[in-house]
Structure 1
Amino acid sequence: MSRQPDPGFETLAIHAGQEPDPTTGAVVPPIYATSTYAQDGVGGLRNGYEYSRSGNPTRTALEECLAALESGVRGLAFASGLAAEDTLVRTITEPGDEVLLPNDAYGGTYRQFAKLHARWGITSTPVPVNDAEAVAAAIRPGRTRVVWLETPTNPLLTIADIAALSEAAHSAGAVVVVDNTFATPYLQQPLELGADVVVHSTTKYCGGHSDVVGGALITRDAELGERLAWSQNAIGAVAGPFDCWLVLRGLKTLAVRMDRHCANARIIASWLADHPGVAEVFYPGLATHPGHDLAAKQMRDFGGMISFRVAAGEQAAVDACGRTEIFTLGESLGGVESLIEHPGRMTHQSVSGTALEVPADLVRLSVGIEKVDDLLADLDSALG
């Protein structure tokens, strides 16, 4: 008998953790809207469940699916991406530890480290994650506990060499965390490249329809997975069953959606690069992007996020964001609809005045799956 090949990503997205319901045969996992479970005697859990903060079958389905998609051994679902990050930091750091952050990290991540974790003695140091030698030099054995990566970064789409940085961090006893929200597990597999933990805002591409808020952690280390699960239960910022169901639904179409996001973004990035009103385009799919070759090596495709600088300056960038009709002015990203925003005044306002401050003339696009000609016409009108 021939051996069945390992299932592909698209198959795992539809089936991992999602066997038909044994009672009814329903092919879609039910939403277990329950807080507690009848027990088989005192201390005798029924199928491992006792209370939905500790575990819920709908959440289990999502966690198993995410673990499979990221090639991990343990997945954990949270109420938001920042809840996942907070739980992770509280689990793997102690007072006095240092975390290296991208020097253009997501504003919410920076805010959490600078305004919350710093109060408990966790320091954060910004580093250029696209410079592996500089990051390696910044790692202080015995002090640097975590090397935190975004790749591509938010919002400047910088590319970090996950394999090289993982090797450097591990040699100094540090843990490597990769926020894989922009790339998604379909385009990039950080755990296979050497990272220890993957972080997601499942609000974004995993959910894919701008109708849910959630987060996730996935690890390749079973012991670390157990520690994270203990913290998840102790801290309690878990994803509710309906939110888990929505993310599971979104994951089923992640591959086909990402193919369209990427195809549209490639066309728009090339168009922006030739536009007289645009000073600079940040998109790793452009051959002129300094991280293009590395992105091509460690990613399946280049993603649906684009940032660009408006030649006429900050006010022109703000005005352009307000003139689009198909691109919706709004925060967040990764939904089927296209979004536009001004990071300096919106998603990254919290880094204003810091080493992570973004250019004032920067515009960020989350390219959706609409007809690309319509998106180009909308941007052309907005840019004048």
Structure 2
Amino acid sequence: MINSGDTAFMLVSTMLVMFMTPGLGLFYGGLVRSKNVLSIILQSFISLGIVSIIWIFYGYSLAFGPDIHGFIGNFDWACLNGVGLTPGRYSDSIPHLLFCAFQLMFAIITPALITGAYAERMKFSAFIIFTVLWTTFVYLPVCHWVWGGGWLGKLGALDFAGGTVIHINSGAAALVVAFMIGKRKGWGKDAIMPHNLTMTLLGAGILWFGWFGFNAGSSLSAGGLATMALLTTQLSAGTGAVSWIAAEWIYHGKPTTLGVASGALAGLVAITPAAGFVGPVSAILIGLIAGIICCFAMSLKTKFGYDDALDVVAVHGIGGIWGALATGLFASKAINPAGFDGLFYGNPKQLLIQAIGVIAAIAYSTIVTIFIVKIIDYIVGLRITEEEEIQGLDVSLHNEVGYTM
């Protein structure tokens, strides 16, 4: 039976998660140079359109439809056939169509996250094809594995709101694209600085706000579990901000506004898979460690020589891995009887299951993304010309400028 309170709560949560994608555009927009600000924001905004179309025609059915051998859904729900205003398989208190809309917002932001890795140098045509192919062949299968009745969910992997499905998945793809598209002109030699950290902080605030819909909404009802997920989200984000800024203050001499924004994001990423399975103290520990390890993971791109322009790998990839594994440590059935106890509550097997999920998502996303990038490079070419890169994508690809002085 439809519950009006749960439905109202999920309507608001869906809108909050949608708002995260424009927030991501602002977060990324401030971090690029002024000549590329519109191009990176456009990539987030157009994802709202591209993925919505995919989701309705076949995406939702492949992600959440009746299972085919644990790997993918079938086409029974294509064009939302049979997806109506009565409760569906995944909730008995909200309309099936509302669950579909809520999950659409997750599907939208995941490929948008990857844009930070190849910022300032990918063709717009290549971006569009990448978004379509990656959503279809990477996001939809991994989503089904975990949430749609696939093999990882049946194995017992816990992912409350997308640590594996969204952050590890996108982080692995970001690393592949960053390596394959190559470094920006002048990277490692010239200073490539964020042009507007005020915009980045605004974007971070929108992301933090929207994340309450992301995590609390994943309870699919307005009640105690949503309350706990909201609180753990806040605690991990706040602690991540503090631990990141403390780490950079100690090791680099000065605390920065970019550090506090990045630390909050690291805490949000890490708590995402655990939000509805852990308690407040565990959330603080998860955020504390996330801020520190993601801060130091920023140095990986210099060490290994890949230009992950906006640190998708360090924040989403490393943060997502830590969050998935931390769920295997701190999960407690006392918080959520529908979950499992983790290692610290007497169930070491859960940590192993979480590790299997991490490895599977990284391996699958990496391999398929390599093929997708090679195909795109062959069809339309991946990268803009050197002249276009010097001029900036805003003018060379879109005939616009972000600022008129």
Q: TM-score when scaled to structure 2?
A: 0.26
Structure having the higher helix fraction is 2
**Higher Cα radius of gyration:** 1
User: Which structure has the higher relative contact order (CA within 8 Å, separation 6+)?
Assistant: 2
Structure having the higher strand fraction is 1
Q: TM-score when scaled to structure 1?
A: 0.27
